[in-house]
Amino acid sequence: MILKTLQRRIVVVFVGLLLLVMGLIVGLVSGSNQRMVASEMARELAAGTRIFQRLVEQNQRQLETAATVLSGDFAFREAIATQDRATVHSVIRNHGLRIGAQEMIVISTDGQVIADTQSQLTESRAFQFEDLLTNAQASGKSSGFRQMKDGRLYQLVLVPILAPKLIAWVGMGFQVDDQWAKGLSEVIGLTVSVVRRQGAEVSVLASSLEAASRTVLAGALRGAPSGDSWVLAIGEDHFQTVQLPLGQDVSVVLQRSLEQAQAPYQRLQNVLLVVILGGVLLFAGGSVMLARRIVRPLDDLSVSARRIESGDYSQPMPAMPMDEIGQLALSFDHMRERVASREEKILRLAYEDALTGLANRTRFLEGLVQRLTRGHGAVIILNIDRFASINNALGNGVGDQLLIEIGTLLGQITPAPTLLARLWGDEFAFLLCGAGKEEAMAFTQSVLAILSRPVTLDGQRLDVGGSLGVALYPQDANDVTELLRSADQAMVLAKRRRTGFAFASGSGGQPVHEQLSLVGEMREALARQEFVLHYQPKLDMVTGKIVGAEALLRWQHPVRGLVSPIHFIPFAEQTGFIREITPWVLERVIAQAAQWGRDGLELVVSANLSALDMLSPNLVTQVRDWLELHRLAPAGLCLEITESALMDEPELALSHLTALFQLGVKLSIDDYGVGQASLGYVKTLPVHELKIDQSFVTAVAGSPKNAAIVRSTILLSHELGLTVTAEGAETPADLTWLAQNGCDVAQGYGIARPMPADALPGWIAMNEKCC
């Protein structure tokens, strides 16, 4: 976890590298110090040994010189010759004091001690060190280190006394004691100890060491290795040791303290460690500052990256020095700007209509979910009238410019809708949050008012209009999909009726799941022969006879029973499936009329054509073929066309209408009065009959306004040479009024309800008998 952050890793790497280098330096210095100490120790021991040997030789020469001087003294020789022991003793004592010799001794030629400054002789005794005397006799003099019987050690020399022959030997010696050892130690810089080894036992005779260290030295020397030099531990101290023989079992031990030799180097190494520690601390502090300088901009970059990840592109990168990280930050900021630009473009493409700049279908659906489901409101779908004709006639470029202009006009409506979108093609949608039916109706009037103004493009005036469908939430639907479908159905209804707008609540629609089920089942119903035709009689108001019948489609559903056409025909028209139903209806109507004719029942049978049927290129050919196939005279067939069926593509519809007229088929304008067509328009059409809509006919006897409309329509139609059929005659009073006012044909429940084809001949026969 300590290396989790970059800052810590930088500090650890930098300090670690420094520690590694400093460790190598300390190791090299320590190794060098050890080699230098070892070399210095060897040099000091060698020098000390040489100086020690020279000092010993110097003492020996001093003793020999002093003894030679004494041996040449005439009075001294005379005292020896006369055996004057007192004089001899006095002379050697005085001479020894002058040169600092602690031991002065005179020995006779036969090896007997004549005088000795260390003891008063009461009787002659033999000289203790015969080897020295023997060497002196052989070489004229001798010297060496010898331990007296009292345990004291001396450096002795023997010099002959000649007169002129040898008359005695004079011996002089410096006592080897602690003072002697300390004096030499001060001169040579080494610890000096004189030891005696007797078998495995070692005793210290003299030493410059403290008394406590002597015992330890004696014990350490017992197991000391053999060799020229070695390290000897005395307590907590360590000494580089050299042992030199002094004579017989006596040797001198010269030592140099390792701790003292290492002390200057240790102090230097300690200083180096302090410097290194200070350097490491200083470097660590600098590394932390450098790491912060490096990491802080990276942290800022990381924070900015997280903001960008969350979709916030608004904040630029903080200012940074123009080093490598600054260049990275600058590049990162450029990337942020480009990403923001691309995301803005993507969002615009995803939620904005590229042509008009309005919200698109996706944005509108999201707006519905976000806003409308939290309260109530209205969804309005607008379809531009006559746009297809304008687009086909003037080209796509003009069509696009028209959509742009319409989008601009719609954006100027006040009060503005909550959301305005172009769904596709010439279809727009409005969202009115918090709106009820009255507010929605007022808004539709504003839209229609805007669209009623002519649009001028490239100097050409274009008249457009619109059909709007209104669906209220939550009255008409409980979810967004169903709400849009309801509004779309209402728009289709408004377009068909030419009323400008329609509410979903007045469209007679079923629940969406039932609508989808019905649309999906229609094709199967056609294949299974579930569609049936019922016929409603038409009464000639002059003769009182049945002269015709209108074929009305019914769906004998296996589950729902007999389904009225108002529940499935609109969806068949929306989906285009009506183009498959209408040929089936026409063929069976022609076949039925021909059959009735062969049976002696002469009737003009009517069938309805939708707008899609009127635009079908096969319509005229199919009608002609079926008439010929079933041998029915064209006048025995009447095709009823609504006004709206002629409005989408009037030229093509008019050409088909003319062809059918020339074929001899009777043609009728259905539902007259509920659309926008006038008699002035109808007179230009090749039709035979005008069929007044039931909304004006029903209860016409009791409605003066309806009566005025129907009466004027009958009179004008007759003036134009058209037969008039009144649809929706429900009562005898209605029938009487129609007869009195010159109506040609009547149809409605007041005459008969629609009935199956096999029931119609019997009903007609029964009706004629009654009459």
- Quick: pLDDT tens for 120-141: 776 778 888 888 999 999 999 9
Mean pLDDT in residue range 323-335: 76
d(CA 438, CA 432): 12
Residue 107 structure tokens: 């020995």
The C-alpha angle with vertex 638 and arms to 637 and 642, in degrees rounded to 5, equals: 150
Mean pLDDT (the chain, rounded): 86
Highest-scoring range by mean pLDDT, 237-251, 556-570, 735-749: 735-749
Torsion angles phi and psi, residue 563, rounded to 5 = -100, 125
Nearest to 23 by CA among 277, 284, 264: 277
d(CA 554, CA 557): 9
- In the block, which residue shows the tokens 């209220």? 472
Instruction: Report the pLDDT value the prediction gives residue 507, as an integer from 0 to 100.
Output: 52
Q: What is the pLDDT of residue 589?
A: 97
Q: Which residues contact 228 (CB under 8 A, 6 or more apart)?
A: 242
pLDDT score at 258: 87
Res 2: pLDDT: 54
- What confidence tens digit (pLDDT) does each residue in 526-539 have? 888 999 999 999 99
Mean pLDDT, rounded, for 671-681:
64
Going by pLDDT thresholds of 50, 70 and 90, the confidence category of residue 626 is very high
Q: Which residues contact 271 (CB under 8 A, 6 or more apart)?
A: none
Q: Does residue 629 register a pLDDT over 80? A: yes
d(CA 301, CA 516): 55
**pLDDT tops 80 at residue 760:** yes
Asked whether the beta carbons of 673 and 696 are under 8 A apart, the reply is: yes
DSSP 319: P
412, 349 contact by CB (below 8 A): no
- Whether residue 647 has pLDDT greater than 70: no
- Contact residues for 182 (Cβ-Cβ < 8 A; gap 6+): 192, 208
Q: Which of 426, 304, 308, 309 is nearest to 356 (CA)?
A: 426
Q: Per-residue pLDDT for 250 more than 80? A: yes
Question: Residue 587: what pLDDT?
Answer: 96
For residue 229, what is the enclosing H or E element?
none
- Check if the beta carbon of residue 522 is closer than 8 Å to that of residue 543: no
- Measured distance CA(535)–CA(762) in Å, rounded: 13
Preceding omega of 474 cis (within 30 degrees of 0): yes
Can you give the pLDDT at residue 230?
A: 84
Tokens of residue 370, six digits: 């976000």
Query: Cα–Cα distances in Å, from 415 out to 136, 239, 272, 697?
Result: 147, 110, 87, 40
**In this predicted structure, what is the pLDDT of residue 715?**
94
**Which amino acid is present at 657?**
L
With the CA atoms of 204, 205, 210 and 211 taken in that order, what torsion angle do they form, in degrees rounded to the nearest 10?
80
Q: In the prediction, which pLDDT does 295 show?
A: 73
State the pLDDT confidence band at 289, using cuts at 50, 70 and 90.
Answer: confident
Task: Kindly tell me if the per-residue pLDDT of 762 is higher than 60.
Answer: yes
In the prediction, which pLDDT does 681 show? 67
Rounded to an integer, what is the distance from CA 201 to the centroid of its chain? 86
Give the pLDDT score at 389: 76
Helices (H), 352-459: 361-371, 387-394, 396-410, 437-451
Q: What is the DSSP string of 442-468?
A: HHHHHHHHHHTS-EEETTEEE--EEEE
Judge contact between 604 and 545, C-beta under 8 A. no
pLDDT at 628: 96
| 592: Cβ contacts below 8 Å, ≥ 6 apart | 533, 535, 551, 605, 757
Instruction: Say if CB 487 and CB 455 are below 8 A apart.
Output: no
Q: Which of 16-25, 294-303, 332-341, 732-741 has the lowest mean pLDDT?
A: 294-303
Confidence of residue 309 (pLDDT cuts 50, 70, 90): confident
Q: How far apart are the C-alpha atoms of 260 and 587, rounded to whole Å?
A: 133
What mean pLDDT do residues 483-498 have? Answer: 85
Task: Measure the CA–CA gap between 254 and 417, rounded to whole angstroms.
Answer: 114
Q: What is the pTM of this model?
A: 0.47
Give the three-class secondary structure for 360. Answer: coil
Question: pLDDT class for 697, splitting at 50, 70, 90?
Answer: very high
Whole-angstrom Cα distance, residue 506 to residue 384? 21
| Chain centroid, CA 282 distance in Å | 39
Positive or negative, the CA dihedral 271, 276, 279, 280 is negative
Place 373 in a pLDDT band, splitting at 50, 70 and 90: low
Q: Would strands 561-563 and 546-557 be described as parallel, antiparallel, or unpaired?
A: antiparallel
Residue 30: pLDDT band with limits 50, 70, 90: confident
The per-residue pLDDT for 610 is 87
What CA–CA distance (Å, rounded) separates 295 from 276? 27
Q: Residue with structure tokens 């020339």?
A: 662
Position 679 scores a pLDDT of 64
Q: What is the pLDDT of residue 441?
A: 92
- Residue 267 in tokens: 């102090």
* Cα–Cα distance, 373 to 49 (Å, whole number): 111
- Amino acid letter for position 85: R
Q: Could you tell me the pLDDT band of residue 593, with boundaries at 50, 70 and 90?
A: very high
Residue 674 CA to residue 596 CA, distance in Å, equals 33
770 pLDDT band (50/70/90 cuts)?
Answer: low
